[in-house]
């Protein structure tokens, strides 16, 4: 029996429009192992698994970088409206999709293999919200099927997809990954911890453990 999710058109929104007020500067240019957060985020997009990828941003250089990846840059002229505006802009460009992957841009240890696995997991459960998680705790990215698009479009202010997930907790399925992949760089202290984790993963001791 054919799985309906296999032929479902999937889009991806990379959310790169925030002003990073908690970080104190444009954190997307901060580097981990010599590569910026935004470059790592774009590298982690499972482009071959998504029919269309859009990058929503308020930054010219990030829009240019998105085009280098052959992604579509969507300009957010009102980042002060909050994350809900980024969601609306992304969904407007992907309205013909049966599901949309929302990927944040500040998880520098996220691997493309994990996002691709999440897409495969969604195609097995095309009516469910799926997300990466660890130990039963949800993280990002998340994929929403089209039946939740109206609620996502109705969000306002700095309110994101978590609000929709809380309203439909029974619809959420988690795909287990390592805790380090879910680490986000909200503050300078957080990115320092991420750099430490990245360095530890390259240590001889870590290599022997693997």
Distance between CA atoms of 61 and 28, rounded to whole angstroms? 11
pLDDT band at 6 (very low <50, low <70, confident <90, very high): confident
> Looking at residue 24, what is its pLDDT?
54
> Looking at residue 131, what is its pLDDT?
98
| H/E stretch holding 72 | strand 72-75
Three-class SS of residue 54? strand
Write out pLDDT tens, residues 56-87: 999 999 999 999 999 999 999 999 999 999 99
What residues contact 186, with CB distance under 8 A and at least 6 apart? Answer: 22, 23, 106
Distance between CA atoms of 156 and 1, rounded to whole angstroms? 41
- Give the residue-averaged pLDDT of 98-107: 96
Report whether 136 contacts 174 (CB < 8 A). yes
What is the average pLDDT value for the chain, to the nearest integer? 90
Going from N- to C-terminal start, the domains of the chain cover 9-209
When the candidates are 3.40.50.980, 3.90.1010.20, 3.90.550.10, 3.40.190.10, the CATH number that belongs to 9-209 is 3.90.550.10
- The model carries a pTM of 0.89
Distance between CA atoms of 90 and 111, rounded to whole angstroms? 22
Write out pLDDT tens, residues 21-39: 555 557 898 888 888 999 9
Three-class SS of residue 160? coil
Residue 2: is its pLDDT beyond 80? no
């Amino acid at each position: 029996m054919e799985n309906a999710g296999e032929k479902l058109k999937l889009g991806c929104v990379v959310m790169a429009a925030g002003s990073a007020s908690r970080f104190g500067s444009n954190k997307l240019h901060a580097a981990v192992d010599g590569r910026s957060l935004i470059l790592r985020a774009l590298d982690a997009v499972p482009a071959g698994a998504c029919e269309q990828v859009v990058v929503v941003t308020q930054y010219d250089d990030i829009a240019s970088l998105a085009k280098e990846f052959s992604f579509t840059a969507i300009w957010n002229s009102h980042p002060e409206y909050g994350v809900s505006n980024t969601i609306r802009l992304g969904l407007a460009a992907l309205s013909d999709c049966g599901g949309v992957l929302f990927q944040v841009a500040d998880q520098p240890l996220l691997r493309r293999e994990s996002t691709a696995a999440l897409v495969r997991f969604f195609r097995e459960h095309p009516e469910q919200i799926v997300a990466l998680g660890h130990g039963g705790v949800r993280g990002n990215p998340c994929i929403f099927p089209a039946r939740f698009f109206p609620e996502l479009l109705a969000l306002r202010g700095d309110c994101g997809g978590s609000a929709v997930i809380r309203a439909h907790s029974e619809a959420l399925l988690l795909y287990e990954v390592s805790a380090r992949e879910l680490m986000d760089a909200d503050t300078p202290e957080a990115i320092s911890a991420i750099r430490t984790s990245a360095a530890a993963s390259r240590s001889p001791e870590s290599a022997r453990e693997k």
